[in-house]
Amino acid sequence: MSEINWSVLREAANDAMAKAYVPYSKFKVGAAALTEDGRIVSGCNVENASYGLTLCAECALVSQLFMTGGGRLVAFTCVDGHGNILMPCGRCRQLLFEHSAKGMILETVSGFKTIDEVIPDAFGPRDLEERK
């Protein structure tokens, strides 16, 4: 964790959160992650009148990951509208797992944890590769 500048990641998450579109819930979320090649990608939640179509901040982050060259995520943080750390929901943990480097670290409400700790026994791309 010494090479990860968590304050810079939190700042990027807060900047993203400020751009959230939340006319219904008023619950802003911003997320930021560090990639293996040192880029910071971020995203905010975007609500929809048909609530099921709302996009989480993590969805926007993964879109930016691919729009800026792809790669794997090595560190992640997520904040609410007051800058407090949030734990991604189960759906978003699976989304992050799909694009994580082995051992990705997440800043969570209960401290720093690896992706495997926050979504144990997850099924993902590595499993598909092993079963070819």
49 in a structural domain: yes
Q: How far apart are CA 38 and CA 12, in angstroms?
A: 14
1 in a structural domain: no
Vertex 103, ends 100 and 104: CA angle to 5°?
45
Q: Which of 58, 98, 107, 130 is catalytic?
A: 58
The answer to whether 58 is a known catalytic residue is yes
The per-residue pLDDT for range 73-85, each reduced to its tens digit, is 999 999 999 999 9
Q: Tell me what pLDDT residue 128 has.
A: 85
Q: Tell me what pLDDT residue 2 has.
A: 57
Residues 6 or more apart whose Cβ sits within 8 Å of residue 21 = 44, 45, 46, 47
* In contact, 64 and 43? CB cutoff 8 Å: yes
pLDDT at 15 over 80: yes
Note down the domain range covering 116: 6-130
Number of domains in the chain: 1
Mean pLDDT over 62-78 rounds to: 97
pLDDT at 126 over 80: no
Could you tell me the CATH number of the domain that includes residue 85? 3.40.140.10
pLDDT at 13 over 80: yes
Residue reference for tokens 């929901």 = 89
83 in a structural domain: yes
110 in a structural domain: yes
